[in-house]
Structures are given as C-alpha cells and as structure tokens.
Structure 1
C-alpha cells in the first residue's frame, strides 16, 4: 500500500466529509489505545483487528492511515500532547507559588496525567521503543521538548534568584530519564510507593539540581 485510499466527499448522515474523517480517525486512535496500550500490544495487532475494534472497515483504515506504524506515531503524539496540556495548565496556575511548591504542582499534574491511564504509560515508554528509526526520532524529539520545558523553567527560576545560574541542558536530560524510568517502574508495580511518594522523590531530585549544595537563593531586595 503506497498511499491512503481517497475518502468519500460530501455530506452524509448530517455530517460533512471532514467531520466524518475526524470521527473515524478518533475511533481508530481510541481502538489503538486499547489494543496497543493493553493486549495484544502494537506488535500483536493487525489492521484487521484494529479495524474490528474500531467498528470500521479495513478500507476505512486505509483512508486514514498507510500503516499501523502511522497509527502508533499519531497515538504517541496524542498521549504526549495530553500530558503537555496538563503541565502547561499547572504552570499557569502555579506561576506565583514559591519554587518548591511550583515544581510539586507541575509534576503532580504530569504524573497524574500519564499514570491516570496505564495504557498511556505503555504507549509512551514501551510500545514506541525500537519500532523503527522514524519512531525513535519522534520519541527523542518529544523527549527533547520536555527537556526544553525544564530548561526554560530552570532558567527563569535562576533569573529570579530562586535557582543557581547554569546551563541546565545536560542535567535536564538526565532528569527526564529519571522521570520516565521511575514512572514506568511505578506503573509496572516494581516500585513499592504511592504515586505521591514517587512524585515527591522526583521533586527532591529536581530541587537538588536547581539548588545544589553550597548555593543559597538570593535575598529579597
């Protein structure tokens, strides 16, 4: 299959072709979240089984996607977008809080979003890994966005005298690895802790990066 089939145009059942396409795509992604994120997983799913789970035809699948890898790519971006939206909303609400409270609010929002549905954890940290060079590039690109977010917040905190001034890129990259690893292991039952305890540990790690031993916040003028 070299390309998608062309979907029908015009209004049908009170919906435009665009509205029907959005609905179909959403149904395929919902079905993929269930099959890829639970059983049988991405590698055990076929176009036929995904179409059946979405209550759509394989022809309709090829009107929306070329391959199952395209579905996984779209789903991975969607799951990350949900988490990013939760984090940005927490950022906006926590703007005026002290650094420690601000960081805690942000990480509670992130952790609550990605662990609220175990299927999202599996899509983000398991199913996407090692599928193809294209998806590895996408996975690392989304990770880089999280690194940039942390660097931006750390730099802003340093400019306010709340954190040590430094280049945070390397530390932020290492920290994101800690976040992904701990939340994955927690969701898999390999870590005996509550979610709040896991988040508190991550917050302590980040504050240790932002405020290393021997450094003190600037005194208010």
Structure 2
C-alpha cells in the first residue's frame, strides 16, 4: 500500500519548504486580522473568503489549519504577543526610574500598541468572546499571564520599598479588567479623552492599588 505523500523539503524559488509554509501562515493571519478584526467579522467569514483575501487556495488553508476557529485562536495569541512585547520593551527602557515613571512607560507602550490598530482590539475584546469553551479557556489563560505580569511588577516595587507588601493577585485581576474595558471603550469613541489621559488614569489607579491610603513608602537605599 502506498504511503502518504510527504511535503516537499527542498528549496524552491530560493526558499525552503518551511519558509514557504511560514509565509502561507502569515498571509492567512494577515487576512484574518482584516476580515475578523474589521468586516465582516469572524462569525461571518468563510474559509473561501479568507483564502481569497490571503491570495491562497482553500486546499492551502486546510494544509495550515483545521478550522476558522484555529485561525482566530492563533491570531488572538499573536495580538497578545505583540502587546506583551511592547509592554516589556517599555519596562526595559524605564528600568531604574521611580515607580510612577516605570508604570507610565509600560502603559504608554502597551496602550499605543493595542490601540494603534483597532482591529487588534476587536480581536482581543470582541471577536474572541463566546466562540467556544476552548477559546474562552485560552482567553482566560492569556489574561492570567497579564495578571502575572502585574504581580511581578508589584513584587519588584515591594522589594524596592515603593509599594505595600501583600498578595496582589486579586487586585491585579480586577485591574486588568479595568485596563481592557477602558481601552476598548476609548477605542470605540465612548470615552472623551486623549490616549495620554487614559494612560494617566490607568497609572493613577495602579498606584492607588500599590500605595493604599495610610501607607508610606520605605526610604530607598542610596545608589551605590
């Protein structure tokens, strides 16, 4: 009995099979960002429409994905990766600065990345909601990763005497909900403010969590 056909592994047009596959996947995700994140949205997009927008065939679609839900799952993770990379870059640039300046740098970088393309907000905050139990689990897992990010930043602030020592997990979870809701509403035009004002409000809320009323920061050690 003949075996299954294997994918070609040599070079074609100067690119390997793996490079061509990565390019096809990128084109499908780019097309999905447009169709899912703008019009007609995930629920009204077909495999044929997505393939046409990507300039590829439906046969090539099924070589990369099983379902459109798989595409949405991959795109949701990619959008979150972009935002996380931006936040980490903002944090790295602000290392050594006082807590308010560090927090401002993180949220300015994150907000600029998320709101810079309204399609990303729709993928993260709208299209992913209510699709399936699997995607809800992924959404919550990714949000938990953002909670870990806030908790790590809080732990660093506590270590430097800049924040009150306590377990921040519940507070961070509530704060992430505020971040998501405010940025979504601002992007939708429901909040009359500039992005800088939105960032200032988020920083104010975070500092209020880290430095509750009645708490005074410890004296920081003198720099070496």
Cα offsets for 1:115-141 (capped at 9, x unmatched):
000000000000001100000000000
Q: Distance in 1 between matches of 2:108 and 2:197?
A: 10
Worse overlay, 164-173 or 8-17:
8-17
Unaligned 5+ segments in structure 1 are none
State the partner residue of 1:192: 192
State the partner residue of 2:14: 14
The two structures have a TM-score, normalised by structure 2, of 0.94
Are the counterparts in 1 of residues 160 and 220 from structure 2 also a CA contact under 8 Å? Answer: no
State the partner residue of 1:118: 118
SS in 2 for 1:56: coil
Are the counterparts in 2 of residues 87 and 107 from structure 1 also a CA contact under 8 Å? Answer: yes
Q: Distance in 2 between matches of 1:105 and 1:92?
A: 9
Are the counterparts in 2 of residues 7 and 63 from structure 1 also a CA contact under 8 Å? Answer: no
Q: Distance in 2 between matches of 1:124 and 1:7?
A: 34
Are the counterparts in 2 of residues 147 and 169 from structure 1 also a CA contact under 8 Å? Answer: yes
State the partner residue of 1:180: 180
Q: Distance in 1 between matches of 2:12 and 2:150?
A: 47
How big is the shift at 1:101? 0.5
Cα offsets for 1:136-184 (capped at 9, x unmatched):
0000000000000000110110111000000000000000000000000
Q: Distance in 2 between matches of 1:114 and 1:93?
A: 19
Q: How does 1:132-151 map to 2 (within 5 A)?
A: 132-151=132-151
SS in 1 for 2:11: coil
Matched, 1:62 2:65: no
State the partner residue of 1:50: 50
Q: Distance in 1 between matches of 2:175 and 2:184?
A: 14
State the partner residue of 1:88: 88
Q: Distance in 2 between matches of 1:9 and 1:51?
A: 24
Matched, 1:26 2:30: no
Q: Distance in 2 between matches of 1:110 and 1:75?
A: 18
SS in 2 for 1:126: helix
Are the counterparts in 1 of residues 28 and 50 from structure 2 also a CA contact under 8 Å? Answer: yes
Are the counterparts in 2 of residues 151 and 168 from structure 1 also a CA contact under 8 Å? Answer: yes
Q: Distance in 1 between matches of 2:88 and 2:62?
A: 34
Q: Distance in 2 between matches of 1:75 and 1:42?
A: 11
How big is the shift at 1:6? 6.7
Matched, 1:103 2:103: yes
